[in-house]
Amino acid sequence: MNETIRVASVGKEPSRHVPLVLGRSLRALWPLADAAVIVALSVLSGLAYHAAVYGQPGEVLDYAKIGVAVALFRWVLQQPLAAISARPERSLQYQLFLWNGAFLGVIVFAFLAKVTDEYSRGAILLFYAAGLPALLAWQAAWKRLVREGLSSGRLAVRKVLMLGTFDEIEAFRKTHRPSQSGLIISDIIVLPEEALTDTPAGRLMLKEGVSRAIELVRLSGTEDVLILLPWSATSAINRSVDMLTTAPVTVRLGPASIFGRFSQVHLSRIGSATMLDLIRPPLTRIEVTAKRVFDIVGALVLLIALSPLLLLVALLIKIDSRGPLFFRQRRLGFNQRPFKILKFRTMTVMEDGDDVVQATKNDPRVTRLGRYLRRFNIDELPQLLNVLAGDMSLVGPRPHALTHDRDFERRVAFYARRHNIKPGITGWAQVNGWRGPTDTQEKVQARVEHDLYYIDNWSMSLDLYILALTVLSPKSLMNAH
């Protein structure tokens, strides 16, 4: 490493035609742009339908009202789901959920308001069928333009100067790719390692480097200074911050390498101490209570509504094959506490020990009726009683047999984190197609990753979304044997 301070001007000036403020406004503009496109699609659908069927354009205002209503209902549905970090807007099933939910909301509202006769059913059906593909095409084009704009600097969100050691700067650029996040790197000041030492020569080098940073900030109009120094160099960090207070910029301390291990890192205060929270329970006490109330109410409603089906299935099981009505097996629940899961019996065996063989395609142990019960998840319905007992939740990671738990914990890192929340009758992995046998490492890994994503991003809206997909999505029925 050179023992001198190096300065490199590497950023691109943003285009004068697209100011930085536009980059900051993209998050706000996106839903407004989507709403405008939806209204335009509604109008175009109405004009096209009436021109083709009646030879005249019809009432443009009526089409616009339908578009506004769909856009509004879609936005309302999207708000609680915006808390989901995977940003599922990339998922087709998410977009279908929003589109169908918005139209359902509009239909219900129109029915209650007794205005269904005022609108053309043909125009609405055309809008429903053609609107979503057109909206998705628009979003794909918009995202591509934004990505290109961010990468080129034309839609930059922030203009930043980097100040730090060569190793820390390179690690940050390689890991976080600032240009793809809308950051323009105006200048880089590389400090020698000696500048981090608390010696006269080190303090002088650091002072020269920070002074140069302040000079560049004032010349270029940079808004942020990113300090990329090892967190252990507290003296150098403190001296740098003290000097930078004389410049009108936001000073940020770059992330420590350990942060890469944790999905969510927060600052908290306990008394006068400021601390970094690396790991916390996935749900707060209030959230645990809310989820429990939702589980109890939901389980009771489902048990009552499905009681005729449950009685019919119980009778058919007794007619179909000899054996008990229910299958019970030990599973691990919240905080790895064991409980006995309850299912309708679908097999001729009742395995519950160190040797549990998962069902496979055309498994001879599965009864005739059992194939249908497993295919449509009906065998899982008795677990509503597990939910009422407090052992399970309506939504959560699916519990595995004890022997499989021990095996998976050895094969997959952080597998045991699945037990930091109650297991569920359905879950994020299941509605994404990761259901059934876990006979390969890929299947186990994918299921665990989806379960951990759910734990790290839980919200009540996510539970509702998963329950809706359990009923509506074909993926929830995949790989059932």
SS3 content of the chain, % helix, strand, coil (to 5): 60, 15, 30
Token pair for residue 345?
């019996």
Predicted confidence (pLDDT) per residue in 290-326, tens digit: 999 999 999 999 999 999 999 999 999 989 888 889 9
Mean pLDDT of the chain: 82
Q: What CATH code would you report for 6-17+154-277?
A: 3.40.50
The mean pLDDT of 37-64, rounded to a whole number, is 87
Token representation of residue 146: 């934004």
Residue 34 has pLDDT above 50, yes or no: yes
- Residues 6+ away with beta carbon under 8 Å from 284: none
Phi-psi region of 264 (alpha: psi -120 to 50; beta: other; left: phi over 0): beta
Give dist(CA 228, CA 237) in Å, integer.
9
pLDDT of residue 301: 94
Average pLDDT of 235-250? 90
Which pLDDT score is estimated for 305? Answer: 93
- Cα distances from 422 to residues 333, 390, 418, in angstroms, run 6, 9, 8
Question: Token digits for 448?
Answer: 């665990």
Q: Which residue has the higher pLDDT, 67 or 150?
A: 67
* pLDDT tier, 12 (very low <50, low <70, confident <90, very high otherwise): very low
Q: Which of 14-23, 186-195, 206-215, 376-385 has the lowest mean pLDDT?
A: 14-23
Work out the average pLDDT over 230-253.
90
pLDDT-derived band at 85, boundaries 50, 70, 90? very low
Task: List own/partner pairs for 44-53 with CB under 8 A and 24 or more apart.
Answer: 45/123, 45/126, 45/127, 45/130, 45/131, 46/120, 46/123, 46/126, 46/127, 48/126, 49/120, 49/122, 49/123, 49/126, 50/120, 50/123, 53/122
* pLDDT per residue as tens digits for the range 142-168: 877 766 666 655 555 677 899 999 999
Distance of CA 294 to the CA centre of its chain: 21
- Terminal C-alpha separation, the chain: 61
The tens digit of pLDDT for each residue in 384-442 reads: 999 999 999 999 999 988 888 888 888 887 788 888 899 999 999 998 888 776 768 88
Higher pLDDT, 432 or 30: 432
pLDDT in tens, 94-143: 788 889 888 988 888 888 777 777 778 888 899 999 998 998 888 888 87
Domain ranges of the chain: 6-17+154-277, 20-152, 285-477
Q: Residue 140 corresponds to which tokens in the numbers above?
A: 């794909």
Three-point CA angle 52, 57, 60, nearest 5°: 130
Predicted local confidence at residue 300, as pLDDT:
95
DSSP run (H or E) holding 314: helix 307-320
| Structure tokens that stand for 204 in this block | 């002088």
* Cα–Cα dist 330/339, whole Å: 6
Distance CA 367, CA 328 (A): 17
How high is the pLDDT of residue 478? 66
* Residues 269-279: tens digit of each pLDDT: 777 777 777 77
The pLDDT-based confidence of 211 (bands split at 50, 70, 90) is very high
